[in-house]
Amino acid sequence: MNRIRNFCIIAHIDHGKSTLADRLLELTSTLSARDMENQVLDDMDLEKEKGITIKSHAIQMSYKGYRLNLIDTPGHVDFSYEVSRSIAACEGALLVVDASQGVQAQTISNLYMAIDHGLEIIPVLNKIDMDSAQPDIVADEICDLLGCSPDDIFRVSARTGDGVPPILDAIVEKIPAPSGNPDAPLQALIFDSVFNPFRGVIAYFKVSNGAVRKGDKVKFVATGMEYEVEEVGSLKMKLIPGEEVGCGDVGYIITGIKSAVEVKVGDTITHVARPCEEAIAGFEEVKPMVFAGMYPVQADKFEELRTVLEKFQLNDASFVYEPESSLALGSGFRCGFLGLLHLEIVQERLFREFDMDVITTVPNVSYKVYTMQGEVLDVHNPSGLPAPTLIDHIEEPYIRAQIISKTEFFGPIMKLCLDRRGTLVSQHYITAERVELNYDMPLSEIVFDFYDKLKTISKGYASFDYHVTQFRPAKLVRLDILLNGEPADALSTLIHEDNAYDFGRKMCVKLKDLIPRQQFDIPIQAAIGAKIIARETVKQLRKDVTAKCYGGDVTRKRKLLEKQKEGKKRMRQIGTVQVPQSAFMAVLKLDS
């Protein structure tokens, strides 16, 4: 155990975690030069295309007789659950900060998470070779944050490999070896899992006490299920089978589980014959921030979608779902996400990895509705809202938002937050150039396009992090969209009374562009209860029936037009309006 080091790399998005991991893999000869590529641990096509890490990746390296288990983590706030799981399986962390951008919101958030778990922090200043780098200024920011001296900070360029080798020695010297008793009953924490169509569920785990061997009878504590271990081993670029995974080590286990619901991330593995007394405290229960309905494009694919979501949840434990039905879309699932980017990534991965095309409804957040009878209802969906006469009041979730930006964007950022019903809690100048703002604001106001707007007005410099603090009373109304007089419940939304008119008008204008023209006029209306607050009309496709009327009396033309008008009226009564998928996603981009 003294020769094992478990560590992760934490940083804000795009500060060079995956590139630093590449250099560490090269220096320890974990990969041959032929197999080496940029961001080698980001094995999803989607990660390479977007240039972000979505999944945390575990890999084992050997260095001077030591076994180094590295877990590379994502940086975006929507994937912070992945980071918390990685931190729970480690004793130390490399804190990477970009020398050109300095300390950002997610840097601070991830650092506090690591300190809460008692991890040893090794500060790394990356991208010192860039023209815009300010290594001395950023080093002072890191010293203020950690209370360390400038000599403790490793100055590196992960792209060129300059200054990286001493980090490996620091990992061995500074990060403590894992603690645990090799002779105690087996106690292992599952921190990730994947589904393999041939082998079943493969669980990745860290052993806290005891050891697990091939052929052992093991039990998963949360589900109570018992299995025989078919294979255990270590995590290199491929899975390397072995005879046992010892105390303090990280590895994988295959027990032939074919059902995805039998494995839970955060569960404890123990022996059947000699079980441990208590389960390891897993991870905090994930709290979804954004809810959206997912429905199969063809109604008969509902069961197929259920199976796909079960398998997907294995690979993404922060994703939650439950069945629901909609008048317009049939049977589907109410899904919970950590943010809008998370929703977008899930939708894309379902299509790419499982060939599953889904219709996604308008995202919204969870509200608490207090009825006249004194009941408290959790409402995730506008259709679940009781009649207005039964509601006493509604409470919505509030967040504490932390924004770090250059001082020159201070004014526009404050205006953006005030427009979104935010109240300033505190402001703090990190340096003369950089300011940290803390706001209390409703979660529903940041769900759609807040992050994009923030990036636009700050020219990409502002960083943003948030956590939910409490529920507060709010004046909310249900805004319905009527197409040809019929409510399209997938486009309904709960919104603050003051913003309802503006939002409804924008929705009508947007849908007018997106809904294809029919043989009859389609009225698009935004309504609060029985009151119509905005209207647009998709004009009908017309046929020039009067083209053959040349000469003669004008009454001939009029007669033909009246006849056509009757037909259009009849058609409108029996016609149905098809809503394209782009209309559901358009709500997210109302200003573009």
Cβ-in-10-Å burial (0-12, 13-18, 19+) of 583 comes to buried
Q: Report the C-alpha gap between 59 and 71 in whole angstroms.
A: 6
Task: Quote the strand ranges of 16-65, DSSP E.
Answer: 57-63
**How far is the CA of 376 from the CAs of 123, 157, 470, in angstroms?**
47, 54, 15
> Would you call 364 helix, strand, or coil by DSSP?
strand
**Chunked mean pLDDT (size 10), the chain, 592 residues:** 82 78 79 56 56 68 83 67 75 86 76 82 85 82 81 83 84 84 82 78 84 84 81 81 83 79 77 79 67 82 87 76 76 81 82 82 81 84 78 87 84 88 87 83 79 75 77 86 80 82 87 80 86 87 71 78 75 63 60 48
CB neighbourhood size of 139 (10 A): 23
Q: Report the C-alpha gap between 81 and 284 in whole angstroms.
A: 9
pLDDT for 223 equals: 78
pLDDT for 150 equals: 80
**How far is the CA of 544 from the CAs of 69, 213, 550, 561, 562, in angstroms?**
74, 81, 13, 9, 13
pLDDT for 35 equals: 58
pLDDT for 592 equals: 45
pLDDT for 45 equals: 59
Q: Which residue carries 């921030």 as its tokens?
A: 289
pLDDT for 377 equals: 86
pLDDT for 573 equals: 59
pLDDT for 77 equals: 62
Q: Report the C-alpha gap between 170 and 157 in whole angstroms.
A: 17
Query: How many residues does this entry show for the chain?
Result: 592
Q: Report the C-alpha gap between 309 and 354 in whole angstroms.
A: 10
pLDDT for 574 equals: 58
CA 484 to chain CA centroid, Å, is 36
338: its two tokens:
């950590």
